[in-house]
Structures are given as structure tokens and as C-alpha cells.
Amino acid sequence: MDDFKSVYCKGCWQQMRVPIFIRSPLSFPFRMMGIKTSRMHPNLCTICESMFTKVKKNKQIDIQATVMFADLRGYTALSEHADPAGIARLLNKFYDECAPAIWKRDGIINKMIGDAVLAIFNFPVEQHDHVHQAVMAALEIQRKFSDMQSEFSDISGMNAPVKVGIGIHTGTASIGELGTNYKDFTIIGSVVNKASRIQGVAQNGEILITDDAYHCIKVDYPQLEPRAYNLKGIDQPVIAFAVPL
Ligand SMILES: [Zn+2]
């Protein structure tokens, strides 16, 4: 599982051609300076978290990104019935299973929002096929959940199946450091909003992607059926496609 881990920061290398060592004995002087591995991705460093906007000479920058929301379903109902320790174990397990699927494909986990993971692809490590990478990560997460169903149900202490709903969208988003004391960065913009909303209408165990995302991977799935959704806060119906598992 650890074979994707790099000895130097991939973000700093790609953006600045500076080798910042985060593993191996070479990382020692960097650690002495307080530079550590980012919690968003084990191949990035804390410079990437706090300095990217400085390196880019801006508080906020626009990037092309693919945003993925993966949401643990039934969590609200579970939290009313299962014991808190079981819920915490379930959330940890969810995170542990989602994270490597995302990290292996150079995506970062920007945040855990309650029971959902917000992942970003194409920043800070750029990828020409970031939509494809996001879809591959989503497929791996769904496969893991179907393979480990009984394990997840046992952890939660409930008999009900534990499922994940995933939404993916791609476009121009804004990344920046919001607030003065904020160390890491936040992604904002309609891309994030739409990815979140499309995740909201994905069924349990489903991967829903917007037409913008589908356009980028159509060659892999030429014949998916379009579906129209009316989403809260978005005027026009949104066309989306379910990726076959
Ligand atoms: Zn870095």
C-alpha cells in the first residue's frame, strides 16, 4: 500500500524544481526546519499547504481541477442508533480506505466534511488526465466497499449495509488561503458546489459524474445514458452520468 510514497515532495518538485525531502535520512534537515509531510497527501509537504499561493505570488489562484465528494451513506441514521465509538471506528475505516485510492493517483484530500471526503485532482501535482484519475479512485473506493461490506457493517455495529455515494465534477476552481491565521488552503467556486450537489443525488454505491467530467472520459465509456437533475442552488438542470462499476 505504501509503494506510491515518494522520498521528496512531488508538489515542490513539479512546481519549483526544488527537492524537498520528506522521507529517508535526507529529510532530517528539512524536519529540523519544521517541514513535514502534508496530511492532505503523503507525497506533499507542509510548504505546499501554506506556501503555494506565495510561490504563485497570489492569495488566490484559479486552477483547472477535478473535485470528488465521497459520502458515507446512512451516517446520520447510524449516529442516532450506534454507539459513538463504533461511529468513530466506521469513519476512520472509511477514511483509511478512501485515502490510499486517492493518494495513489496524486489526488489530495483537502477536507473531511462530516461524513464526506473532499478530494482534488490536478493540484498541486498536475495531471493531464485528472478526470480519469478521479474516476479510477472512485471505482476503487466503491469496489472496496462492496468487497468489505460485512466488515463495515460489523464495525458500525448495525445490520444495515454501509454504502458510499460519489459525485465528480471538473472545471475552473479557485484555491486560496482564506483568513489570516489559516495555514492550509481551501478550494472554492461553483465546481465544488456542483460536485457536492451531484454527490447528493448519487444513489448508494453509485458514481455520478457531470457532463463536463464525462466529456473527458467518454472514450472509456462511450455509451452512458444521460440523466437530468434539478439541483438546489443551480438554475439549469444538470446532466450527469453514472459510471458502471
Ligand atoms: Zn512541497
Type of residue found at 71: D
Query: 193 C-alpha to center of ligand 1: Å?
Result: 27
Average of per-residue pLDDT across 86-113: 89
70 CA from centroid of ligand 1 (Å): 25
What's the rounded mean pLDDT across residues 29-58?
Answer: 83
Cα of 187 from ligand 1 centre, angstroms: 18
Q: Has residue 42 got a pLDDT over 70? A: yes
- Kindly give the distance from the C-alpha atom of residue 46 to the centroid of ligand 1, in angstroms, as a whole number: 6
Ligand 1 geometric centre to CA of 242 (Å): 35
Residue 239 is predicted with a pLDDT of 97
Ligand 1 mean position, distance from CA 20 (Å): 6
Report whether pLDDT(52) > 70.
Answer: no
**How far is the centre of ligand 1, averaged over its atoms, from the C-alpha of 137 (Å)?**
22
Average pLDDT over residues 74-96: 80
Q: How far is the CA of 9 from the centre of ligand 1 (A)?
A: 5
User: Domain extents for the chain?
Assistant: 10-55, 60-242
Q: Which of these ranges, 92-96, 127-131, 155-159, 175-179, has the smallest mean pLDDT?
A: 155-159
> Locate cell 535520512: which residue?
25
Please write down the HEC assignment for all residues of the chain.
CCCCCCCECHHHHHHHCCCCECCCHHHHHHHHCCCCECCCCCCCEHHHHHHHHHHCCCCEEEEEEEEEEEEECCHHHHHHHCCHHHHHHHHHHHHHHHHHHHHCCCCEEEEEECCEEEEEECCCCCCCCHHHHHHHHHHHHHHHHHHCHHHHHHHHCCCCCCCEEEEEEEEEEEEECCCCCCCCCEEECHHHHHHHHHHHHCCCCCEEEEHHHHHHHCCCCCCCCCEEECCCCCCCCEEEEECCC
Q: What is the mean pLDDT of the chain?
A: 88
Q: Output the CA 41–ligand 1 centroid distance in Å.
A: 10
Task: Give the angle subtended at the CA of 107 by the CAs of 180 and 170, to the nearest 5°.
Answer: 85
Per-residue pLDDT tens digits for 174-188: 987 766 655 567 888
Q: What's residue 51's pLDDT?
A: 66
Task: Give me ligand 1 centre to Cα 183, in Å.
Answer: 14
Q: Is the pLDDT confidence value at 119 over 90?
A: yes
Cα 236 to ligand 1 centroid, rounded to whole Å: 39
* Structure confidence at residue 216 as a pLDDT band (50, 70, 90): very high
d(C-alpha 146, C-alpha 71), whole Å: 15
Confidence (pLDDT) at 183? 57
Percent of the chain with pLDDT over 70: 91
- Which class in CATH covers the domain with range 60-242? alpha beta
Highest averaged pLDDT of the listed ranges 157-166, 175-184, 208-217:
208-217
Q: How far is the CA of 133 from the centre of ligand 1 (A)?
A: 21
Burial of 83 (0-12, 13-18, 19+ CB in 10 A): exposed
What is the band of 91 on the pLDDT scale with cuts at 50, 70, 90? confident
Please list all protein residues whose beta carbon sits less than 5 angstroms from ligand 1, which is an ion.
9, 11-12, 45, 47-48
Distances in whole angstroms, Cα of residue 202 to Cα of each of 94, 162, 215, 233: 18, 15, 19, 17
All cell numbers assigned to 26? 535526507
Which of 49 and 72 is assigned the larger pLDDT? 72
What's the 68 CA to ligand 1 centre distance in angstroms? 22
